[in-house]
Amino acid sequence: MPANLLNLAEYHVLDVEETTHDYHIAAEPTQSPKACPNCHSEALRGHGRNEQVIRDLPMHGKRVGIYVDTRRWRCTSCGKTFMQPLPAVDGKREMTRRLVRWIGQQSLRRTFASLAEDIGIDEKTVRNIFRDHVNDLERKVRFEVPTWMGIDEIHIIKKPRCIISNIEHNTAVEVLRDRTKKTVMGYFQSLKGREAIRYVAMDMWTPYRDAVEALMPQATIVIDKFHVVRMANEALETVRKTLRAELEPKQRRGLMHDRFVLLKRRHDLSDEEYLKLSGWTANYPRLGSAYEAKEAFYGIWELGSRGEAEQAYAIWKETLTPEAREAFYPLIRAVDNWHPHIFAYFDHAITNAYTESLNSLIRVMNRLGRGYSFEALRAKILFSEGIHKVKRQTFKRRPRHAPSMEDAMMHRAYYFGKSMDVEDDRERNYGADINVLVERLEAGEW
């Protein structure tokens, strides 16, 4: 019988039975215990046997069970009995340590149900191994604290969650269960090195602002401009929908089909689209007024300085027609309430521009991973193999000989003066690369 069939040096294979779906392998440990674990005496005597079934990695597409006739031993010195410890077996489960590691890794890429079926175990066991694996990753993996942090909202399993990103490196560093002030503040309180954060881009959600101002007062808050200008489109849509309700059925259908023309920037319109736009705005002045207000508001964000932008906003607000003012009131109120943080964009032009691509990823993950918990999808985002953006240490040639005392002192003096360079050379993990996540989505790997 091939002793290396299992590729486990700790076991000797005695017999193999192969069925349609499984391998049943009888094996015994290659070594017996040398001493009593209680008193360390070597005076041991056999005291019965008990067969244990140990699950192992699937082999040739079949499930594997290792049948071990485990001996019970009695110490003649202290009288204690004990079962022979099984090498390479996980201490919490009747399966090999390598199988536990494999399940943990695969659980970030596959559904729990498919893994349970392939191995022949309960789905609950897979879920528990997954949880242990993620907890271990949480302890080992440390993401760099972003200098430019992004806080945004994404929907996972029909609920809004808070995602924390590193804007400079386009990576995700955390996904929180919800976006309440308590949850966000709890994350910031546990974040070591948060004093290094200089800028925080966010949407206009008060709990985010309160948490940042309370725990990171050194950071400048910048409202993501895409959340601001999007409100101009929403105001235009309000006018369009109001007008559409007053039209005849044929005109109503036309206005519904041409809505994309109204939402497009004027400089992006084709000749055909411009003709459609001109027809709607000429025949319906309310719609034309709202469109011009939308375009003028977008134009503010193309200016070069904060002073120019603030002045242009004041003029824009004063020159709105009464009809447009009513539709744009939510936007005006938001800009006035968040004025310093919104116009901080012109001093620090940072945004969470990745959000739409990440939301696409989340939608697909939700569809493919039905039955997953929030914790499982969060782990997929943050800890899947090969998605981290890591800066490696530079290669350093090993010394050819032990340095002299003089050389050692010189090197010490040099590095003391270059302490920042030495620190910068360490390995850095910036988080889950959002571009890689999207590539995997497009390749159908989720």
Tens of pLDDT along 79-88? 888 888 889 9
Least confident interval from 105-114, 225-234, 246-255, 268-277: 246-255
Q: What is the mean pLDDT of residues 248-262?
A: 76
Residues 342 and 335 sit within 8 Å (Cβ to Cβ): yes
Residues 441 and 361 sit within 8 Å (Cβ to Cβ): yes
pLDDT at 415: 45
148 or 395, which is more confident: 148
| Same domain (yes/no): 105, 179 | no
| Same domain (yes/no): 169, 189 | yes
Of 318, 346, 374, the residue at which a domain comes to its end is: 346
Residues 300 and 315 sit within 8 Å (Cβ to Cβ): no
DSSP 221: E
Least confident interval from 182-191, 299-308, 356-365: 356-365
| Same domain (yes/no): 32, 94 | yes
Residue 200 maps to a domain? yes
| C-alpha triplet 182, 187, 188: angle, nearest 5° | 100
| Same domain (yes/no): 233, 220 | no
Residues 131 and 75 sit within 8 Å (Cβ to Cβ): no
Q: What are phi and psi of 255, to 5 degrees?
A: -70, -35
Look at residue 259 and tell me whether its pLDDT is greater than 90. Answer: no
Look at residue 202 and tell me whether its pLDDT is greater than 60. Answer: yes
- Identity of the residue numbered 399: P
pLDDT in tens, 146-173: 999 999 888 888 888 999 999 999 999 9
Residue 142 maps to a domain? no
Residue 214: partners with Cβ closer than 8 Å, 6 or more residues away: 185
Which two structure tokens, joined as six digits, stand for 141? Answer: 């993996």
Residue 295 maps to a domain? yes
Of 170, 203, 224, the residue at which a domain comes to its end is: 224
Look at residue 354 and tell me whether its pLDDT is greater than 80. Answer: no
pTM across the whole model: 0.78
Least confident interval from 17-31, 387-401, 410-424: 410-424
Residues 208 and 185 sit within 8 Å (Cβ to Cβ): no
> Which domain does 77 fall in, by range?
11-137
Structural domains of the chain, count: 3
Of 293, 318, 346, the residue at which a domain comes to its end is: 346
pLDDT at 305: 95
Q: What is the CATH number of the domain that holds 178?
A: 3.30.420.10
| Same domain (yes/no): 298, 319 | yes
| Same domain (yes/no): 220, 306 | no
Residue 185 maps to a domain? yes
pLDDT at 359: 67
Residue 92: partners with Cβ closer than 8 Å, 6 or more residues away: none
| Same domain (yes/no): 16, 87 | yes
| Same domain (yes/no): 133, 66 | yes
Residue 205 maps to a domain? yes
Least confident interval from 230-244, 273-287, 415-429: 415-429
Q: Which residue has the tokens 């486990």?
A: 8
Look at residue 250 and tell me whether its pLDDT is greater than 80. Answer: no
| Same domain (yes/no): 15, 129 | yes
Look at residue 322 and tell me whether its pLDDT is greater than 60. Answer: yes
Residue 203: partners with Cβ closer than 8 Å, 6 or more residues away: 151, 152, 153, 223, 224, 227
Residue 394 maps to a domain? no
| C-alpha triplet 386, 391, 393: angle, nearest 5° | 120
Residue 294 maps to a domain? yes
| Same domain (yes/no): 131, 15 | yes
Residue 297: partners with Cβ closer than 8 Å, 6 or more residues away: 229, 232, 316, 328, 331
Among the ranges 37-41, 188-192, 244-248, which has the highest mean pLDDT value?
A: 188-192
pLDDT at 15: 92
E runs forming strands in 292-419 = 388-391
pLDDT at 404: 58
Residue 446 maps to a domain? no
Among the ranges 167-171, 209-213, 287-291, 406-410, which has the highest mean pLDDT value?
A: 209-213
Look at residue 418 and tell me whether its pLDDT is greater than 70. Answer: no
| Same domain (yes/no): 48, 97 | yes
| Same domain (yes/no): 131, 24 | yes
